[in-house]
Copies of this chain bind each other. A is one copy, B any other.
Amino acid sequence: MEERQFTCHCSTERCLHKVPLFASLNDASLESLTDKMSHRVYQKGEILVMEGQQPLGFTVIHSGSAKAYRTTSDGKEQILYIFPAHDYFGARFLFTEDEVPYCVEALEETHVCILSKQQLKDILIEHPKVALELIEAMAKRMKRLELLMQQSGKKKAEIRIAAILLEFAETYGTQENGRTVVNLPLSQEGIANYVGVARETLSRKLSQLEEEKIVEFTERLQMVVLDTEKLIALSSGEYELNV
């Protein structure tokens, strides 16, 4: 096993540069900001923040990825967000509460940079353009939530599954001679918890999707989208899986 790393290379690499949120800052302010941030490394399975705890702060994922989830009353985990590399979290709950509303857990080795609430507020007041960016970013996240809401109102599992697969394709997919190859961030069990259906239902639906040549599961945690059109039609309810 590799030696565990306790520092990240943020200061040298100026990791914030890759985050669209801070795109409008010039290099000088960016560097002074980076110096002020604290940096941490988490191994796969480690918890970044625990539901009910004090918020860590505004957290930028430098590398790696994480999932945010809550444990429901019947003991299952409902995943709310997957944060890929260069994404961030914390703005939403830094501003609304006292305690974090969900657990965030690393899905792999993950390096993060953290900004305290006050630091973030200072930046937003000083650089209104960053605030505007943040508003836009939040709007995008809301858009996704609204879409999911709409779909989850409906019972059909396949609609919601198709929507999540499309989300994955967009976030983790790469084009390879026409087909979209997607490295899934979660196992089937995890996807089921994200979609909010039973693991068995997901397994059955995925088999159907393969039968109908809409997607293909080549190896563990890898999916190839064969027919994006159909997947979109499915997610909007225009198309249904035949038995």
Which of A12-20, A59-67, A134-142, A182-190 is near enough to bind chain B? A134-142
User: How many residues of A sit at the interface, in one of the four size bands?
Assistant: 35 or more
A79-100 interface (Cβ within 8 A of B): 80, 91-97
Question: SS class of chain A's interface: helix, strand, loop or mixed?
Answer: helix
Any B CB within 8 A of the CB of A145: yes
Q: B134 contacts A124, CB within 8 Å?
A: no
Interface flags for A149-169 (1: CB within 8 Å of B; 0: not) read 110111000000000000000
Taking beta carbons and an 8 Å cutoff, which residues of A are in contact with B?
70, 72-74, 78, 80, 91-97, 101-102, 121, 124-126, 128-129, 131-132, 134-136, 138-143, 145-146, 148-150, 152-154, 195-196, 236-238
Q: B138 contacts A139, CB within 8 Å?
A: yes
How many copies altogether? 2
CA distance A220 to B236 in the complex (A): 36
CA distance A125 to B97 in the complex (A): 25
Q: A196 contacts B154, CB within 8 Å?
A: yes
A138-B139, A140-B96, A143-B96 known; A70-B150 Cβ under 8 A: yes
CA distance A121 to B91 in the complex (A): 20
A236: chain B residues at CB < 8 Å are: 73
